[in-house]
Structures are given as C-alpha cells and as structure tokens.
C-alpha cells in the first residue's frame, strides 16, 4: 500500500498559534514527544482528550470542522473520550519503544510492535480510497470518531517504519530531552531536537565548563 498523504491538511488556516513544539518533521515522532523529558522527569502533555484534539489541530491532522465536533462529542461521552485518550497514549508508548530500540540499534520489542500492529490494522479498517480531481487519495472514513487521531498516527508510524527515511530517525543528544526527530539535514549530522531548545543550552554549558577549566 503506498504511503498515505498524511499531511494533506497541513495548510489549513490556523485559528491560533500552536501549543505543541512540532520540531520532529514527522507527525508520529512529534506525537511521541508529547511525553516530555520522558527519561528524566516525565511530563504528560496529553492530560485530557482536549489536549489530543489540540495536537490534531497543531499538527494539521484534523480539519477545522472536526475540532469542534470532536470536542463536543468528547464532552457528551466522557468515558469513551477517556478510553480514546488512554489508547492514544498506549499507542504513543508503543511507537516510542519501537523507535527507541531502533535508535539504539536493538530489535524492536515484540509487545510494542504487537500494540502498534493492532492499531495499524484498526486504522486500515477505516481507510478508503476517495476520488480527488482525476486521481485518488487515502482518507479515513469516519472523521468524527473519537479514535480518528489514533488511526492517523498509527498509519504515520507504519509509513515511516516502512520508508527509506527510517535510518534518519534520531533522538536529541540532550540526555534530559531525547525527543525524536527525523534528520533531514544535508549531511545527516543533526544532533538537537531544536537549536533553541537544546542546542544553545548545550553550547552555554560547554562555554562555562571551558571557562572554569581555564580559570
Ligand atoms: Zn532536545
């Protein structure tokens, strides 16, 4: 199956500035980064279902008309929304574990891969070919389902894992951070998730360490 155009909605007009730092260059990696500082002081950025919707908005996975629909639906079906959030976090951790193993040159853990495969299969059940001006595109059928983001993210992870870009998935060199990103730089030597977020902090630390040594 050819990769879906997962970022078709990227150019939607934004109503507000993004809340999530989407630095990864790939939506499933950005999604993994929603558990911030996971190896040191984990901070959950997806506390409520509305945070998940916000991620969908920031990343362009959700169309504007879906946002209010999902928020409304989740407020009328709190249990189902909570369950969808739980499953989304479970998917996120399985994507993390698979990529973390690959980044560290280890085989993907079977349990994480099984969870990911389960969600990929679920996503595939909702995938349809839709005519679009003389050609066809992949679309998910029910855009108001509370799990729609789960399907899209599972699909994005599947596409990346089966793509030639896989060797360029990296974790940030800052041990506190270790956010994932796709290194699309020319020489593939990118070390930091973001120069402002981690690169400069490391530079400042090196500068003071050097100064201390020479004084
Ligand atoms: Zn970083």
User: How much is the mean pLDDT over the chain?
Assistant: 89
pTM reported for the whole predicted model: 0.87
Q: How far is the centre of ligand 1, averaged over its atoms, from the C-alpha of 191 (Å)?
A: 8
Q: For residue 159, how far is its CA from the centre of ligand 1 (angstroms)?
A: 24
CATH code that applies to domain 8-214: 1.10.3300.10
Query: What is the CA(84)–ligand 1 centre distance, in A?
Result: 28
Confidence of residue 4 (pLDDT cuts 50, 70, 90): low
Q: Measured in angstroms, how far is the CA atom of residue 2 from the centroid of ligand 1?
A: 32
Identify the band that residue 15 occupies on the pLDDT scale cut at 50, 70 and 90: low
| 3-state SS assignment for residue 155 | helix
State in Å: Cα 194 to ligand 1 middle: 6
Indicate the range of 5-19, 54-68, 178-192 predicted with least confidence: 5-19
Per residue in 152-187, pLDDT tens? 999 999 999 999 999 999 999 998 899 999 999 999
Q: Is the dihedral of CA 113, 115, 121, 124 positive or negative?
A: negative
The whole-number pLDDT of residue 132 equals: 93
């Amino acid at each position: 199956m050819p990769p879906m155009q997962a970022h078709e909605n990227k150019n939607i007009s934004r109503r507000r500035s993004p809340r999530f730092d989407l630095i990864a260059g790939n939506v499933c990696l950005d999604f993994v980064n929603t558990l911030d500082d996971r190896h040191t002081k984990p901070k959950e950025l997806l506390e409520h279902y509305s945070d998940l919707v916000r991620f969908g908005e920031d990343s362009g996975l959700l169309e504007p008309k879906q946002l209010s629909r999902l928020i409304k639906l989740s407020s009328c079906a709190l249990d189902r929304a909570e369950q969808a959030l739980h499953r989304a976090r479970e998917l996120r951790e399985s994507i993390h574990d698979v990529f973390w193993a690959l980044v560290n040159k280890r085989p993907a853990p079977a349990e994480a891969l099984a969870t990911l495969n389960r969600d990929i299969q679920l996503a595939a059940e909702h995938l349809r070919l839709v005519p679009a001006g003389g050609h066809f595109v992949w679309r998910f059928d029910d855009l108001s389902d509370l799990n729609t983001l789960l399907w899209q993210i599972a699909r994005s992870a599947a596409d990346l894992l089966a793509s030639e870009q896989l060797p360029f998935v990296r974790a940030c060199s800052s041990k506190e951070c270790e956010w994932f990103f796709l290194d699309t730089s020319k020489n593939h030597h990118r070390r930091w998730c973001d120069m402002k977020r981690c690169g400069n902090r490391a530079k400042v630390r090196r500068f003071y360490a050097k100064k201390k040594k020479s004084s």
